[in-house]
Structure 1
Amino acid sequence: MSQRLRSKWDDLGERLLSGAVLVGLGSVCVWIGGTVFHLLVAAVCGMMVWELVSMLDTRRERSPLILGVAAAAAMLVASEVPASFALPLVLAPSMLGLGQMERGGVTYASFAALILLAGYGMIVLRDVYGAQWLLWLILVVVTTDVAGYFAGRSIGGKLLWPRVSPKKTWAGAIAGWVAAGGVGVAYAMLTPAHAGLMGLSIAASMASQIGDIAESAVKRRAGVKDSSNLIPGHGGLFDRFDGMLGASVFILIAGQITGFPPGIGPALP
């Protein structure tokens, strides 16, 4: 095997092992649901906000911890109260950060809101529609990422946005859409959802890719390769869950338009 070929895949083993651990832990918490799942989402949101602040504002030493804890606490409380009271809590850490950040405040506020809205969206999916539909969203994002990784490394070709993300290609993006569409078809065959789930799956795949690219833009602005080094082979939680951010927020919005799951239930509450 040539040196060039080895360099394309030299992180594969580490990525697979770390990914398997994450999937295993996440799957158990999703299956159990309730407070266990709420705690997991709150912890992940808090750590992602910590990573975000650490990237954007290196001049403040205490801000990452303060805002990370605030985000986790807000998410945990929001998961236990009615939606009308949860929404102000979800946005509160963004407002708090504007007073804590010495620089990057607007970027922080926007992405912190995205992180917590995405976390809340996943809680709504699990609590209202059950584990199978949260699993659908996770499968869409994971298959998009996996198919994009292998197609991008194997086929290569024109880059999607070279200035921001030098490794993401159009071949990988399209492969992700196809894989996500396959998840939608499989779910439509196994559940009462109609064929429109395929289109919704492809759109969620696109939203996950937008979330991925947006996170890459933040890292490029901050001058870092990874959001942190918490996960071997993947970087930080922000690196790993950036696609879930876009997809989860998308479903919160799209569910109001199409009804979710399509052909089964009403729009999201």
Structure 2
Amino acid sequence: MPGPVNDPAPDGVGSGTKQPAALSGRSRELVLRVVSSLVILPPIILLFWLGELYFLALVALLAAAMAWEWCSLVSPDSSSTMRRLSGVSAAVLVGAAASSLQQPESLFLLGALPLIYAAAVRLVTGTWILKLLPGLLIAFCPAFAIYWVREMPDLGLETALWLALSVVVTDVAAYAAGRTIGGPKIWPRVSPNKTWAGLIGGMAGSAGFGALLALSLEQAPGLVALAGAVIAIVAQAGDFAESALKRYFNVKDSGRLIPGHGGILDRVDGQVTVLPLAAALMLLSGKSILLWTWP
């Protein structure tokens, strides 16, 4: 049965003469992270810029990878066929939702696909694996949300980039504040390195990033800065949720797709919570958050 992962010992505690080697290992991981980011980010930003089918292909691919990782995480004994089925189903679901924006009849496929997926799981495995179905939702919601935001007629590109980069800024600012200031932990049993100082630093970083972007677009910075702070909180909630899930299933990373980073779910845990919420609020308001004004 899966169970909680034991928290690692604090740096330097009980490590004796091996501490320099541990530091060297962390340095290598940091180099891997930087190199991976430099390789991955340019084509992703290019596809953001191009939009339309190019961007749809990107988000469908990411959804497929997320569903694959979810299947591997919650059902580690699943076959490669089952994992491929999960990935393809998530990608098709995103494509059907995007198509339904111009072709309402595609909504039929959008509603039927989860049932088709459940039936396929039954045929492949001989059992109903309901725990695989949330993976479709977790993969679909942020992928379609960022596509829908990107295709908004007014400031779609700017809003999509702002949402995605705000989560990145939150992570960097939270890490810097947490390492520099330290202090009380938020939830040490689930994420032993997350501090209140880090959360506040992440909120400040995301708020500042939003204010600067709003000023560059000649918009009022107040609401965008406030939205940035809220984004930081919601992103950290997604981070905690994924950390709790990994501890429950006794794994360090959701996958090994990105050197130095782990899996796709490890990198987009904040996006999973931020993007659907932001898209829903903009759908209700009828315009980008970047165009919101004070009452």
Larger relative contact order (Cα-Cα within 8 Å, sequence gap ≥ 6): 2
Query: 186-195 or 30-39: which moved more?
Result: 186-195
Partner of 2:85: 66
Q: Cα RMSD over matched residues?
A: 2.7
Return the alpha-carbon distance in structure 2 between the equivalents of residues 265 and 170 of structure 1: 29
Q: Deviations over 1:142-178 (max 9, x none)?
A: 1001112222233333222222222222222211111
What are structure 2's unaligned runs of at least 5 residues? Answer: 1-18
Report 1:127-146 matches (<5 A): 127-128=151-152, 129-146=155-172
Alignment match of 2:142 (pick from 118, 121, 128): 118
Return the alpha-carbon distance in structure 2 between the equivalents of residues 67 and 202 of structure 1: 34
Q: Is the 8 A contact 1:114 1:249 kept in 2?
A: no
Query: Structure 1 92/85 Cα, relative in aligned 2: closer, same or farther at 3 Å?
Result: same
Q: Among the aligned pairs, what percent are the same residue?
A: 31
Query: Structure 1 15/103 Cα, relative in aligned 2: closer, same or farther at 3 Å?
Result: farther
Return the alpha-carbon distance in structure 2 between the equivalents of residues 217 and 91 of structure 1: 30
Return the alpha-carbon distance in structure 2 between the equivalents of residues 145 and 91 of structure 1: 35
Query: 112-121 or 92-101: which moved more?
Result: 92-101
Q: Kindly state the Cα deviation for residue 230 of structure 1 after the two structures are TM-superposed.
A: 0.7
Query: 119-128 or 5-14: which moved more?
Result: 5-14
Partner of 2:97: 78
Q: Write the letter of the residue equivalent to 1:58.
A: P
What are structure 1's unaligned runs of at least 5 residues? Answer: none
Q: Write the letter of the residue equivalent to 1:175.
A: G
Query: 113-122 or 9-18: which moved more?
Result: 9-18
Query: 69-78 or 42-51: which moved more?
Result: 69-78
**SS of alignment partner, residue 234 of structure 1:** coil
Alignment match of 1:229 (pick from 225, 247, 256): 256
Q: Kindly state the Cα deviation for residue 58 of structure 1 after the two structures are TM-superposed.
A: 1.8
Partner of 2:180: 154
Q: Is the 8 A contact 2:246 2:253 kept in 1?
A: yes
Q: Kindly state the Cα deviation for residue 191 of structure 1 after the two structures are TM-superposed.
A: 1.9
Query: Structure 1 89/143 Cα, relative in aligned 2: closer, same or farther at 3 Å?
Result: farther
Q: Is the 8 A contact 2:234 2:273 kept in 1?
A: yes
Return the alpha-carbon distance in structure 1 between the equivalents of residues 223 and 206 of structure 2: 13
Query: Structure 1 239/58 Cα, relative in aligned 2: closer, same or farther at 3 Å?
Result: same
**SS of alignment partner, residue 11 of structure 1:** helix
Q: Kindly state the Cα deviation for residue 217 of structure 1 after the two structures are TM-superposed.
A: 1.6
Q: Kindly state the Cα deviation for residue 26 of structure 1 after the two structures are TM-superposed.
A: 1.0
**SS of alignment partner, residue 151 of structure 2:** helix
Q: Kindly state the Cα deviation for residue 212 of structure 1 after the two structures are TM-superposed.
A: 1.5
Partner of 1:254: 281
TM-score, reference length from structure 2: 0.79
Q: Which has the larger radius of gyration?
A: 2
Q: Is the 8 A contact 1:71 1:93 kept in 2?
A: no
Report 1:37-48 matches (<5 A): 37-48=55-66
Number of aligned residues: 264
TM-score, reference length from structure 1: 0.86
Partner of 1:177: 203
